[in-house]
Amino acid sequence: MSAGFQRARRPEQIEARRRVILAVARELLAERPVAEISLRELSCRVGLAKSNVLRYFDSREAIFLEVLDSAWTAWLDDLAEALGEPGPAEPGFAREERIAGTIAATLAGQPVLCELLSSMAPVLERNIPVEFARSFTRRAAANTERLGELVRVRVPELPAEAARHFAHGVVVLVSGSWPAAHPAAAVAAAGPAEPPAFGLAEGLTNLLAGLLARQG
């Protein structure tokens, strides 16, 4: 921490300090997985003591969950544009394959989002206070609901509940497939012991097509 540090007191000062901390967290995530980033390292990069960083966020995990929320909402904005306007019916499951492929392709361009989604339940939600958990859970539910609605608008035969199930499935598939696609160095060096798991686009296509077929 620099000798000239002064605690932010006004709301705009507090918000500015929070933005700096979140920006540094994003920079570190571009360099290494969240599990390898300590609060000490983040604090040093920001130029504050750990205790001062914790004046603005409840914990290290809360910082990265805030980054996750902003990355999630930004991706949904991009996805809405990438999906385009709803189109006419297509033969077979071509429509579902295209939608699932678009979701997978846009997620592939968001490594920070995928990294944080895969760490959300097993790591990041383990060290946050109840009030923050309530706030984040509401925002995560809203993001999931929006994803389901983006799909349902383009697949109107899909009931709202099924669209919601698909949106939850996207999170689950990303959470499992991202670590598998980015193994630890020793595992990667050892080579695959089994055939690689199915790709995200294939898994999402099967999920969406299956949910739609069950409505018949």
Average pLDDT estimate for 66-84? 98
Question: Taking the CB of residue 99, how many other CB atoms lie within 10 A of it?
Answer: 21
Three-class SS state of 24: helix
How confident is the model at residue 6, as a pLDDT?
Answer: 55
Cβ–Cβ < 8 Å for 73, 115: no
Q: How confident is residue 7, by pLDDT bands cut at 50, 70 and 90?
A: low
Which residues make Cβ contacts (< 8 Å) with residue 151, sequence separation at least 6? 99, 158, 163, 166, 167, 208
Distance CA 29, CA 34 (A): 6
Question: Taking the CB of residue 57, how many other CB atoms lie within 10 A of it?
Answer: 21
How confident is the model at residue 192, as a pLDDT?
Answer: 63
Which of 157, 40, 183, 26 lies closest to 99, judged by CA? Answer: 157
Angle, alpha carbons 47-24-104 (nearest 5°): 170
Provide the sign of the torsion angle of the four alpha carbons 195, 167, 100, 123, taken in this order. negative
Residue 115 structure tokens: 């990294």
Q: Which amino acid is at 129?
A: P
pLDDT in tens, 27-54: 999 999 999 999 999 999 999 999 999 9
Residue 10 structure tokens: 């006004």
Cβ–Cβ < 8 Å for 215, 162: yes
How confident is the model at residue 4, as a pLDDT?
Answer: 44
Q: Is the predicted pLDDT of residue 195 greater than 50, yes or no?
A: no
Distance CA 57, CA 46 (A): 13
pTM: 0.90
| Lowest-confidence region among 11-20, 115-124, 205-214 | 11-20
Distance CA 80, CA 89 (A): 19
How confident is the model at residue 1, as a pLDDT?
Answer: 40
